[in-house]
Amino acid sequence: MRMDARPFILLYLEYFSGGYYKMTYVSLYRKWRPDNFADIAGQQTVVKTLKNAIQLDRIAHAYLFCGPRGTGKTSTAKILTKALNCHDGPTVTPCNQCEPCLNIKGNNPVDMIEIDAASNRGIDKIREIREKIRSAPLKGNYKVYIIDEVHMLTTEAFNALLKTLEEPPDYVIFILATTEPHKLLPTILSRCQRFDFTRLSIADIKDRLDYICKQEGIKADNEAISLIARNADGGMRDAISILDQSISYSGNKITASDLEAVLGLVSNQVLFKLTEIIFAGEIEKALDLVNQIVNQGKDIKRFISDLVYHFRNLLLVKECKENERLLDITTEQREVLIEQANEIEASQLLQLIEIANEIEADLKQTTQPRIILEMGVIKLIKFEENKSLIGILDRISRLEEQIDNKSKREVTSKKTDQPQVSNLTETSATNKQPNNDNKSNPEEEKKSTTTSLTLSEFKDNWEDILDYLKNKKRMRLQALLRDATPSKLENNKLTIAFEHEFHKDSVEQEKEVLTKVIKKIFGVDLQVNCIFSRNKPNGTKKNNKEKVLQHQLVQQAVEIFNGDVVQVESVD
């Protein structure tokens, strides 16, 4: 019996000591955590400062590590602890062999207390720290408290921490780590030495990935590594995660196309094709392509940001002569880029980038990415009509051309039709027929015009004046002018007829504005004269009365009530 039981007990022990699981696979980003300062990618200033602090024995009692995800905050905190508590230490090169080092690596530390502030947010946890902080470290030189995700502590907890944080015992070091330093109290910030971890550069990530690939025996081509680095968005953990996933997808050899599949990226060819379609303005083809992309399950947000990146590359090859350093591409790709860049102006590219950026922002919060994408692509194609600054400039120049053509035509037509009017220029526009004013005969007016402007022309452009006023937010004036008509134009005097006296009076007060607007639009200085047009009151009243009687509503009312119309009165 005993003989049989023995192996069972052994197995049992092995099972619970964790040995049973020793062979299980560990995520690459956990396996390749940096072990010493030299392994930390990027963050040169942080590492240098910390190293010097150790060498010069100027170790602060409270550190704050902040920065975006995956930049090495917690890892650096652990390395710092190792460096301080190593048997050889304090040293800048922890041995990773001695007991304290191994304990930290095995997540089983003695003198390092790691607190998850997001789960233990309350004041109780901080009180507990204050109790325990009095006992000296058991094995190492220092007792290190790492408070991770510190931004989630409650206000009470923060305040309870203040005193301890300012003057802990000699052997205690606090390391606070967070992604959101702006959520900390200023009193906490001022008690810590702050280290800002920056996003990692693409080159840094690539170096580290190359190193890991070599160690793991993975063959990955340069393009693939670049793609990973670009998609990680500055986070090393994201980068290694992607690498991990692509290894399990494609085995020991990773190519760019594998990555495109794993990440749901759209290939470069598709980007080139879509750009071509956009340049050509073929909406139907573009929508077809969008449909394909959506149906293939590509990551739509990624696709748009890749498109922005593509436009950016086009812009760079177009505008920068020495772009090798800025563009991470092969010579082959560069040639294709240059070819495409030749088809379009830089200003248009800038505009495309602007629109694409808008689409990207819109996509972030939508449940219907497909609709937004379709609309976005339509916008990209119809962008000339966009009302951005460049678009307006284009339209202005087009208008100028039109005006030029028009005035030329005018000059010729006047010369042929009205030879008796010899002076068309503004300066000589002074004389002629002062008495011929009361009748509103258009032909006569045409003859009497002495400026380069005729009344009919002016009438044609009346809407322009109204629009202009509307755009300038002169709504009141515009509304007042709406029912007025320019009735006469002579001797640089413009007469405007109003239907209502009140309107006339109001406009008269703002005459100057009107003069300015006219000057702006027609380039002519005109005196504005306002009149009240109902100079034939009887006639108009009669007209009005007939109008009213003929109106459908009135007729219906008469019918319904079976009555007669006794009196028609105007209500001003």
Partner 1 sequence: MSFDKVIGQDLAITILKKQLKGDRLSHAYLFLGEQGVGKDIAAFEFAKAINCQEESADACEQCISCRKADNQNHPDIIEIKPDGKWIKIDQIRALQREILYKPYESRWKIYIIYQAEQLNLEAANSLLKILEEPPQYAIIILTINNAENILPTILSRCQLIRFRLLPDQLIKEQLNSDYELSPEKSQLITSLAAGRYKDAVQLIEDEEKLAEREDILKLVLAIKELDQVTVFEVAEKLLEYKEQINQVLDLFLLWYRDLLLVKLTQIEGLVNADYKEQLIKEAKGYKVEEIEEIIKIIQNTNNVIKKYNVNLQLTIEVMLLKLSRLGRQNRWQKQLE
Binding site for partner 1 (CB under 8 A): 18, 21, 24-27, 30, 68-70, 107, 116, 118-119, 121, 148-149, 151-152, 179, 235, 237-238, 241, 244-245, 247-249, 261-264, 283-284, 287, 291, 294-299, 301, 362, 364-372, 374-375, 378-379, 382, 463
Could you tell me the smallest distance in angstroms from the CB atom of residue 166 to partner 1? 26
Nearest to 224 by CA among 201, 204, 247, 194: 247
233 touches 306 (CB < 8 A): no
Could you tell me the smallest distance in angstroms from the CB atom of residue 179 to partner 1? 6
**Would you say 12 or 502 has its CB closer to partner 1?**
12
**Would you say 358 or 417 has its CB closer to partner 1?**
358
Lookup result for tokens 């689409």? 359
**Would you say 368 or 509 has its CB closer to partner 1?**
368
**Would you say 298 or 504 has its CB closer to partner 1?**
298
Lookup result for tokens 């969008």? 290
**Would you say 50 or 363 has its CB closer to partner 1?**
363
**Would you say 298 or 474 has its CB closer to partner 1?**
298
**Would you say 30 or 476 has its CB closer to partner 1?**
30
**Would you say 39 or 299 has its CB closer to partner 1?**
299
Encode 293-306 in three state secondary structure. HHHCCCCHHHHHHH
Distances in whole angstroms, Cα of residue 294 to Cα of each of 155, 282, 288, 289, 408: 46, 19, 10, 9, 54
Cβ neighbors of 360 (< 8 A, separation 6 or more) are 301, 304, 305, 308
The DSSP result for 471-487, as a single string, is: HTT-HHHHHHHHT-EEE
Could you tell me the smallest distance in angstroms from the CB atom of residue 372 to partner 1? 7
Encode 210-221 in three state secondary structure. HHHHHHHCCEEC
CA atoms of 184 and 176, how far apart (whole Å) = 11
The secondary structure of residue 394, as a DSSP letter, is H
Residue 344 is which amino acid?
I
Lookup result for tokens 């470290």? 137
**Would you say 231 or 449 has its CB closer to partner 1?**
231
Q: Which two tokens stand for residue 136?
A: 């000296």
Cβ neighbors of 67 (< 8 A, separation 6 or more) are 73, 179, 196, 197, 198, 199
Could you tell me the smallest distance in angstroms from the CB atom of residue 233 to partner 1? 9
Nearest to 86 by CA among 141, 4, 125, 48: 141
Task: Specify the pairing of strand 193-196 against strand 219-220.
Answer: unpaired
The number of C-alpha atoms within 13 Å of 43 and in the hemisphere containing its C-beta is: 30
Could you tell me the smallest distance in angstroms from the CB atom of residue 364 to partner 1? 5
Buried b (16+ CB within 10 A) or exposed e, 334-370: beebeebbeebeeeebebbbebbeebbebbeeeeebe
Q: Which two tokens stand for residue 387?
A: 């009302």
Could you tell me the smallest distance in angstroms from the CB atom of residue 10 to partner 1? 18
Lookup result for tokens 């005018």? 410
Could you tell me the smallest distance in angstroms from the CB atom of residue 303 to partner 1? 12
Of how many residues is the chain composed? 572
Q: Which two tokens stand for residue 336?
A: 């294709």
Could you tell me the smallest distance in angstroms from the CB atom of residue 341 to partner 1? 28
Could you tell me the smallest distance in angstroms from the CB atom of residue 47 to partner 1? 21
**Would you say 320 or 392 has its CB closer to partner 1?**
392
CA atoms of 59 and 143, how far apart (whole Å) = 13
**Would you say 100 or 235 has its CB closer to partner 1?**
235
**Would you say 452 or 485 has its CB closer to partner 1?**
485
Could you tell me the smallest distance in angstroms from the CB atom of residue 334 to partner 1? 31
Phi-psi region of 462 (alpha: psi -120 to 50; beta: other; left: phi over 0): alpha
Residue 309 is which amino acid?
Y
CA atoms of 167 and 280, how far apart (whole Å) = 69
**Would you say 291 or 412 has its CB closer to partner 1?**
291
Could you tell me the smallest distance in angstroms from the CB atom of residue 467 to partner 1? 9
CA 328, distance to chain mean position in Å, is: 23
Could you tell me the smallest distance in angstroms from the CB atom of residue 385 to partner 1? 8
Could you tell me the smallest distance in angstroms from the CB atom of residue 278 to partner 1? 14
Could you tell me the smallest distance in angstroms from the CB atom of residue 282 to partner 1? 11
Task: Indicate the SS3 state at residue 196.
Answer: strand
Q: Which two tokens stand for residue 12?
A: 């049992």
Residue 158 is which amino acid?
F
CB atoms within 10 A of CB 454: 18
**Would you say 177 or 429 has its CB closer to partner 1?**
177
